[in-house]
Amino acid sequence: MKPTLLLALATSLALACSSPSLAQNAPVKVLRYAFPIAETGFDPAQISDLYSRTVAANIFEAPLTYDYLARPAKVKPQTAAALPEISDDFKRFVFRIRPGIYFADDPAFKGAKRELVAADYVYSVKRHYDPQHKSPNLFQLENAGILGLSELRKKALADKTPFPYDTEVEGIRALDRYSFEVRVARPAPRFHYTFADGAVMGAVAREVIEAYPGRAMEHPVGTGPFRLASWKRSAKIVLERSPNYRDDLYDEEPPAGDAASQAIAAKLKGRKLPLVDRVEVSIIEEVQPRWLAFLNGEHDMLDRLPNEFASIAIPNGRLAPNLAKQGVHMDRVPLVDSTFFFFNMDHPLVGGYTPDKVALRRALALAYDVQREILQVRRNQAIPAQSMIAPMLSGYDPALKTEMSDLDLARAKALLDQYGYIDRNGDGWREQPDGSPLVLEYSSQPDNLSRQLQEVVKKSFDAVNVRVDFKIAKWPEQLKQSRAGKLMMWGVAWGGVSPDGQYYLDLLYGPNKGQANHSRFDLPAFNALYQKLAVLPDGPEREAVMREAKLLAVAYMPYKVTGHRIATDLMHAPLQGYRRHPFMRDWWRYVDIESTAP
């Protein structure tokens, strides 16, 4: 072939490869994995479950976020131009939003490109106070006492009138197009952490909410890197790159001693986010098909290796050689979470604060076999808990030992006997002190993990001759019933959203009943400690108060906390850049799917 012909062919090929049409045909990078539990929806003012929050956090943006690689966790600006200005008394917070950030396109904007402004955050915060939304995250704002908003909420409830969004209050207002301030009634040294969670403080556009009345859960429109492309409820969620997402470059700060994170940062630094074009999330509740989908390459990652496969995939905590040969890699870290079951403190059988009711709960807690759960159900992917507060948080004390983790059948039986919970009719089961049946009702789900936990519950309570029945329903239904105070007992988990351990004590604070406080525990002594914690700066005094609050919770036992889990995530070779963060849910933008073709 003549040189001139070769040059012509090369030139032609170069032009073809640089043409827009061919660029548009470049392989689409798709992240595929599964949730083990169905979502409930995607409205920041209405959601609380982990899986809905994960999706929402990738659609909506809070003013702040966390550095994806920094350990310990480090808050940094997201839509804000800088960290907030915080007054010396921790009662005033000023956020300044960067110009040039835009919402994803939506017909509600009537063809205009809609810029994010300070008023959007003012409106979004107010939505949590709107009674119609029954926000499960309202407690995070109420605890600080944003001035004027509680009064608006109470008036709307009393008058049965729509929430007055246009009424300006001292507690939150736009200072100009790109700045807003928040004023609170009490010092709140850690209040800004709330504004680092896009699933709660993500900005929504008022036009969108009003254009689709009653449909905010199914029609999310945010400024984040992804937008909802399709959704088949409880089956599959598909998100795609938002064309309006700004030029956001990978610039994370890994710790000096973490070689893996250092390598990720060096490789991806300066790349435009998000790195993938599309995210496909399947809902697969049973562990076997979820595991097989990963092994068969249908999913790029396995989010939290199911306990049943721990001995196969990670014998002795190390990745199995056969998986390593296939290019699978793992990320194994302690979760900032607590697993527990609660007693409804308003229920006539297990609730109450009298000595006999406290004795019943403590006896049942002492009868519960935590080690059986950790060994047989968790497959050693957890450590026993001594209190509600999880590791890596303020208030966690690794040296603390309480009866929370104890298995003591003799003491459990003695407590039941002492307070009149005995077998009066000779059928082998204990009755209540008044002779009426003692039958517990434990709510659970139909999936395999829940069935295994049910077996531990039954064996534990059978050992002290207390009968238990199981009330089975899907997760979203149990959550709805729990918030309404209609469950006697339910086993769930609580995940951290910031470095502050007080978020876990939210589960015990009386005014949070129906929100974080599923047990409906309401003890004045505990409430007073909680309020004191909220205004104290970090330090030894606050740690001492946290210890006192934790011990009160152990004494009254509204929650039997069983453990703190360890997560092992598995990834196929094409998935690059993944590191589990202790708090942030919006990690999809930071991972890449690389081609393995030669």
* pLDDT at residue number 55: 98
Say which residue, 4 or 100, is predicted with more confidence.
100
193 pLDDT band, cuts 50/70/90, is very high
> Would the pLDDT of 173 be above 60?
yes
Residues in the chain: 598
* pLDDT at residue number 3: 38
The per-residue pLDDT for range 561-574, each reduced to its tens digit, is 999 999 999 999 99
> Would the pLDDT of 332 be above 70?
yes
524 pLDDT band, cuts 50/70/90, is very high
> Would the pLDDT of 8 be above 80?
no
**460-490: b or e for each residue (b if 16 or more CB lie within 10 Å)?**
bbeebbbbbebeeeebbebbeebbebebbbb
86 pLDDT band, cuts 50/70/90, is very high
Concatenating the DSSP letter of every residue in 510-571 gives: GGGBTTTBTT----HHHHHHHHHHHHSPSSHHHHHHHHHHHHHHHHH-SEEEEEEEEEEEEE
> Would the pLDDT of 177 be above 90?
yes
Q: Percent of the chain at pLDDT above 90?
A: 92
Any idea where the domains of the chain sit in the sequence? 37-231, 248-332+568-593, 337-566
Fold of 337-566: Dipeptide-binding Protein; domain 3 (3.10.105)
Enumerate the H helices of 251-354 as residue ranges. Answer: 259-268, 287-295, 310-313, 321-325
> Would the pLDDT of 4 be above 70?
no
In angstroms, the CA 340 to CA 368 distance is 11
DSSP state of 395: T
Instruction: Give the DSSP H/E element, type plus range, for residue 366.
Output: helix 355-367
Helix, strand, or coil here: 368?
Answer: coil
The per-residue pLDDT for range 479-493, each reduced to its tens digit, is 999 999 999 999 999
Intrachain domains 37-231 and 337-566 with the same fold: no
> Would the pLDDT of 13 be above 90?
no
The per-residue pLDDT for range 209-254, each reduced to its tens digit, is 999 999 999 999 999 999 999 999 999 999 999 999 999 999 999 9
* pLDDT at residue number 7: 34
For the segment 161-178, the average pLDDT, to the nearest whole number, is 97
The predicted model scores a pTM of 0.86
For the segment 313-323, the average pLDDT, to the nearest whole number, is 94
Which of 108, 190, 261 lies closest to 576, judged by CA? 261
Mean pLDDT estimate for the chain? 94
HSE-CB of 491 using CA atoms within 13 angstroms:
25
> Would the pLDDT of 290 be above 50?
yes
CATH class of 248-332+568-593: alpha beta
Which one of 3.30.300.30, 3.40.50.720, 1.10.357.140, 3.40.190.10 gives the CATH number of domain 37-231? Answer: 3.40.190.10
In angstroms, the CA 84 to CA 322 distance is 49
* pLDDT at residue number 20: 37
14 pLDDT band, cuts 50/70/90, is very low
CB of 278 within 8 A of CB of 32?
A: no
> Would the pLDDT of 113 be above 50?
yes
The per-residue pLDDT for range 34-82, each reduced to its tens digit, is 999 999 999 999 999 999 999 999 999 999 999 999 999 999 999 999 9
> Would the pLDDT of 6 be above 80?
no
